[in-house]
Amino acid sequence: MSDARAQAPETEIVDRNLTLEIARITERAAIAAAGWRGKGDEMRADQAAVEAMHDALTRIDFKGKVVIGEMRGSEKLGLDEEVGTGRGPDIDVAVDPLEGVTGCAKDLPDALSVLAFAERGGLLHVPDAYMEKIAIGPGYPEGIVDLDKSPRENIETLAKAKGVPITEIVACVLDRPRHASLLAELREIGVAVKLLPDGDIAAVIHAANSDDTGIDIYMGSGGAPEGVLAAVAMRCIGGQMQGRLILDTAAKREQAERIGIPDLKAKYSAEDMAHGDVLFAATGVTKGSLLNGVKILPRKIVTSSVVMRSWSKTTRWITAEHQR
């Protein structure tokens, strides 16, 4: 540990020991959602996760404010809602109680319950819109990938930096019709593509953990709120990420201006979207390449979670047994 790290002042997040609490919250939401796996009802699965996460958040000693909230019509965990007991540090809260609602309803891989905490003012406020995204893991020169480059240019630059032919690069892309031209270009140049049915928070984490997952880059577009949550994870793991809002209607542009975004065409780095000390937690709902899903057994429930913190660059993998 460097002297600078050793002498760095502790933040309120550390003082309140929220690292374990954040995992307990995503565990509760994941367990609630798991009861709806494979039952084809996205709304009920999501609502179960929202209710459980909201209930758990109200019990934590902090002054929480939801800045990235539930977007699917729930009355709980909406934008600007105050959560927590009102005692303790001021914390910005970003939630996605069920990332991958379709995956949960169809019992497909990589459905997660996701939560992030940041010091007040640490998270970018974004509208309910899509965001272009690109992400790679740590160990590369700054700026080797960029949203203003073509997919071919980004892949060529990444392959050169990695010291491998283009055909050994693996890209992760959400399986969506809007990505048809991107997929065609990647396959034309010989890139292997892992298609995810849902959940681009997991996709960004996959790219950041390239040594473990074999995925070199995440490309494409997904929800802007999920982009901010992914940026929190990227801040904790290391690596590079860019995001740019897709504001293709007047209503979305007006919403962006209303929440204070000055440049509607700006490119955001992970640090722009999530700065200061941040915490990230995710618990698997369905089994995936990142986390195991919730196991519901006769006498216990087993959960698999990851908790990360930016200040210490610590990643904790937690397997917990909950007595029924």
Domain boundaries, the chain: 3-123+277-323, 130-164+181-188+204-273
Instruction: Enter the tokens of residue 287.
Output: 């089994």
Tell me which CATH homologous superfamily contains domain 3-123+277-323.
Answer: Fructose-1,6-Bisphosphatase, subunit A, domain 1 (3.30.540.10)
Q: What is the pLDDT of residue 306?
A: 96
Q: What is the pLDDT of residue 279?
A: 96
DSSP letters spanning 87-110: -S-EEEEEEEEEE-HHHHHTT-TT
Q: What is the pLDDT of residue 290?
A: 84
Q: What is the pLDDT of residues 157-170, one digit of tens each?
A: 999 999 999 999 99
Q: What is the pLDDT of residue 274?
A: 97
Q: What is the pLDDT of residues 204-223, one digit of tens each?
A: 998 998 888 899 999 999 99
Which segments of the chain have a pLDDT < 50? 1-10, 14-16
Answer yes or no: CATH 3.30.2350.10 is held by domain 130-164+181-188+204-273.
no
Q: What is the pLDDT of residue 73?
A: 63
Secondary structure element (H or E) that encloses residue 124, with its range: none
Of 39, 270, 292, nearest to 134 by C-alpha is 270
**Amino acid code (one letter) for 302:** V
Q: Return the ∠ at Cα 292 (arms to 286 and 294), rounded to 5°.
A: 60
Same fold for the pair 3-123+277-323 and 130-164+181-188+204-273: no
Q: What is the pLDDT of residues 168-200, one digit of tens each?
A: 999 999 999 999 999 999 999 999 999 988 778
Q: What does pTM read for this prediction?
A: 0.91
- Helices 151-162 & 180-188, crossing angle to 10 degrees? 40
Burial 28-42 (b: 16+ CB within 10 A, else e): bbbbbbbebbeeeeb
